[in-house]
Amino acid sequence: MKLPRPTGAFIGASWAALFVGAITYLIGLYNSTIGLSEKGYYFILILFGLFAVVSLQKAVRDKEEDIPVTGIYMGIAWTGLIASILLMAIGLYNASFTLSEKGFYGMAYVLSLFAATTVQKNIRDIAVIDKIEGVSSGSSTSWFKSRSEETTDEENS
């Protein structure tokens, strides 16, 4: 049985959105006239936000697939995402940027977070479909193996 996979266009669009959002955010930050400490704040926020959104997407997906996820981890993942968005909103509200600059940073940030979620979902969908269909595509599925599968693979080697 052939399961529906994300299309190449959707995968490409997801990666493109992630790169466009993150790269333009970082270029804008690099070219900004704000102090180094403020640049550091906004740089850490994009890293924190990207990590939080991918972590939350993975936890939600694990739970949906009956892979154990503790309530505390799920709570931390949600808290991280909400905190990153709130910190961005508070930072932009208090920044001395023009309104158009605030809009630029806000939109690039949100685009990056959404795109990271989509990229993570595509990677996970493809890995699950490959596993179900028994496709061995080398390294693309090796990170997805459970510990019992890794043990079995090592015993067979």
Span 31-54, pLDDT tens digits: 999 999 999 999 999 999 999 999
Rounded CA-CA distance 29/11 in Å is 27
Instruction: Write out residues in the chain with pLDDT < 50, as ranges.
Output: 139-144, 146-148, 150
The predicted structure's pLDDT at residue 131: 86
The predicted structure's pLDDT at residue 130: 87
- B/e letters for 129-144, b = 16+ CB within 10 Å, e = fewer, are bbeeeeeeeeeebeee
The predicted structure's pLDDT at residue 136: 64
pTM for the predicted model, two decimal places: 0.79
**Where do the domains of the chain lie?**
14-115
The predicted structure's pLDDT at residue 156: 52
The predicted structure's pLDDT at residue 2: 76
Residue that has been written with the tokens 């900004």 in this structure: 32
The predicted structure's pLDDT at residue 142: 46
C-alpha distance from residue 100 to each of 66, 87, 92, 106 (Å): 44, 19, 11, 10
The predicted structure's pLDDT at residue 11: 94
The predicted structure's pLDDT at residue 1: 65
Q: Which amino acid is at 44?
A: I
